[in-house]
Amino acid sequence: MTYLQLLRESYLIPNFWCADAYWRHAGWEETQESVCAIQALKVINQETREPMLPTLLGGPASRRVAMFGPYWASFFSSNLCPSDKFLDYNFLYSPARFLDLSGGEWTMTRKNLRWCEQDLGEMAELEVLTQDRQDVLWQFLDQWGAEHEGEQFYEADVMLRYLAALEGESVLALIGKQSRLPKAILLWDENWWAINFRYCLTLKGVRGLSDYARVAFYRWLNHRTGEIKFVNDGGSLDRPSLFDYKMRLNPIGLYPIYSGGGE
């Protein structure tokens, strides 16, 4: 049984980093060992060998799972220890809420969508990027990289690995309907419980482009075939402006994630 399978069978709510794709691109790995004849599953950083998530104890004979530390990031439903420290929030959204943006809580979002189309001079739509569409990706990255030269980004190396892989539908491009030029790149993956919205790269000089791209993403999810999941948009990285921005998009839940859990 894998770590994520045991997580699901135990009804533990996974955090933003619980996804096979993320583990591959971030250099995390799953390990197993035996503790008193009970299977112990861990997720560690390949380079530092440090534990990243709570250790899960379980096995075929029992669905009861014990968790213990240390760990870098807790789950939503972890039993916290007094020594645990706040790490970040996970913002949870419902894609269905982005179909109808009426009401006062969406006033700024509606304005940003109008401003974005005015600045672009056209409407834009999402398209899945596959290996045969790498030209679109690199066309965008050339412009985006020039605009953001010298800036630091959280886990930029992980982002580049997602882009290089172009797996399934995980990379989307927001493309102008008339110009056919890319305006934004979005990356996502998923686990059994939620879609994990990893990155939203937008060009500068277009008002409301981040809102436009996000709304397009949530509406795209609603029109995909198959199960519609919640969307975990990660945290705020200790940036008050990012916290305020994500709150303005009306999350259905705001979940604190902790670090610690000493043995």
Burial of 155 (0-12, 13-18, 19+ CB in 10 A): middle
Instruction: With cut-offs at 50, 70 and 90, classify the pLDDT of residue 76.
Output: confident
- pLDDT tens column, 142-183: 999 999 888 888 889 999 999 999 998 999 999 999 999 999
User: Using CA atoms, how far apart are residues 100 and 250, in angstroms rounded to an integer?
Assistant: 13
CATH number of the domain encompassing residue 231:
3.40.630.30
**Which residues does residue 39 pair with via DSSP β-bridges, in sequence order?**
34, 58
- pTM for the full model? 0.93
125 and 175 in contact (C-beta within 8 Å)? yes
Q: Are residues 63 and 97 in the same domain?
A: no
Q: Are residues 132 and 205 in the same domain?
A: yes
Q: Are residues 233 and 124 in the same domain?
A: yes
Domain limits for position 148: 91-256
